[in-house]
Amino acid sequence: MKRIVMFAKRYVVAAVCLFFAMTLGIFHFKGRGRIAKIAALFGYDPTELKLIIPSVEPSEALPADSSVEVLEPKAADGNVSALEVLALRQQVAVLKRKRPRPALKSFDRLFWTMLRHLWSRWSDVLVIVKPETVISWHGNGFRLYWRWRSRQRGGRPKITEEIRGLIRRWAEENAVWGSPRIHGELLKLGFIVSERTVARYLRRIRRRGDGSKRWLAFLQNHREVIVAFDFFTVPTLTFPLLYGLFVIEHGRRRILHFNITRHPSAEWVVQQRRETFPEAGPYRYVILDRDSKFDATVMTFLKATGLKPKRTSIQSPWQNGTAERWVGSCRREILDHIIALNERHLLRLLREYVSYYHQDRIHDSLEKDTPPKRGAEQKPAATAKVTSMPRLGGLHHRYGWREAA
């Protein structure tokens, strides 16, 4: 709607200007001057009409001995031709406003590309697009031609999707394997493929392996010599927090030491380390998070006692998963069901829980066994019955056989 109003305004202004021009006597001028003023009135450049209205005499344009008969146009005929061109240009301008970018087909592009090589004045009659556009069409055609000429007409056959899948799978499962190792495994399975082909597909895999799997593999291979430190908090009856520190081994999930305090510090952590390992033990690595209580003093003491501290990444509790799982079990099985009165009360409850955790509670990671390897009980007699033994005030139970009286 806005476009229609804008065009209507332009035509009204043009009509008014034309009326005033006729009133002022513009059309009293003859020849080229009158047409130039009309062209300027409608917004066209009068110099664009110089190809239609010749500025030289025909006798000057051709040789004297030329056999071509030159018809010298009259002034009236030239004026009519100029007005005709002016009318055509005005219609072209209207069409451009209606459809500013005409739809061109491949044949149209081919026509102007060929015309550019056959006629030197091709750009003088080109109005639908710019000459630079035709030149760009020629460049695109040049690239398409040489792409077609350079197409692959043979070479090595492509490997099957099965082999590509095996290369990706083995590269992810074995982060340290290179193309020689994977190529050897393929040969052992009867796949015929070159080592260079395997290397080419390996380069397309940006990330080799999973970082979490490598970390779990490290923990699995060194679990007998790894211990983990961690803190947990428990609110008391009057809402102050109590801090608990525990040390757990990775091999059999045993709790080596735990204690409770209201004011944890680096010196207190060092003292707990002395109580946990009074002598040199079999452990070589300590996993702990980036808690500020594990400061440089604690790190220096651990290194002095022969332990290599391994700090987890920022906000990565899964890297200390064994300790985090114990905290979760402790909360679900005891801490969420009690209200700690003070340090002595909480310490007593945790001692009972650690005893239950070691002697009675089974662990999925230990193949349904306890840390000290609780044996399976056999039914002593045909009349024996299963009895329950309460633990932690009746929150949990242990079951065993008991002969009937």
Instruction: Identify whether residues 340 and 223 lie together within a single domain.
Output: yes
Instruction: Identify whether residues 243 and 352 lie together within a single domain.
Output: yes
3-state DSSP call for residue 203? Answer: helix
Residue 228 has what pLDDT? 93
CATH (domain of 290): 3.30.420.10
Give the residue numbers spanning the domain of 18: 2-98
Instruction: Identify whether residues 342 and 263 lie together within a single domain.
Output: yes
Tokens coding 272: 């707990």
Instruction: Identify whether residues 269 and 362 lie together within a single domain.
Output: yes
35 inside domain: yes
Instruction: Identify whether residues 221 and 328 lie together within a single domain.
Output: yes
156 inside domain: no
Residue 171 has what pLDDT? 85
Instruction: Identify whether residues 305 and 398 lie together within a single domain.
Output: no
Query: pLDDT tens digits for the chain (405 residues)?
Result: 555 655 555 555 555 454 444 444 444 444 445 555 555 554 555 554 443 433 333 333 334 443 333 334 444 455 556 656 666 666 566 566 656 566 677 777 777 777 777 777 777 667 666 778 778 877 888 888 888 888 777 666 778 889 988 988 888 888 778 888 899 899 988 888 888 888 888 887 765 556 666 667 776 777 788 999 999 999 999 999 999 999 999 888 999 999 999 999 999 999 998 898 877 678 899 999 999 899 999 999 988 888 999 899 888 888 898 999 999 999 999 999 999 999 999 999 999 999 999 999 988 888 889 998 888 888 888 888 889 999 999 999 999 888 876
Q: What is the Cα gyration radius of the chain?
A: 47
Angstrom distance (rounded) from CA 11 to CA 301: 93
Instruction: Identify whether residues 192 and 170 lie together within a single domain.
Output: yes
Give yes or no for a contact between 142 and 117, defined as CB atoms under 8 angstroms apart.
no
Instruction: Identify whether residues 203 and 273 lie together within a single domain.
Output: no
Number of domains in the chain: 5
Instruction: Identify whether residues 37 and 144 lie together within a single domain.
Output: no
Residues 6+ apart with CB under 8 A from 136: none
Residue 121 has what pLDDT? 72
Residue 366 has what pLDDT? 86
Instruction: Identify whether residues 180 and 253 lie together within a single domain.
Output: no
154 inside domain: no
> Long-range CB contacts (< 8 A, 24+ apart) of 332-336?
333/392, 333/395, 333/396, 334/392, 334/395, 335/234
Instruction: Identify whether residues 227 and 306 lie together within a single domain.
Output: yes
Instruction: Identify whether residues 233 and 334 lie together within a single domain.
Output: yes
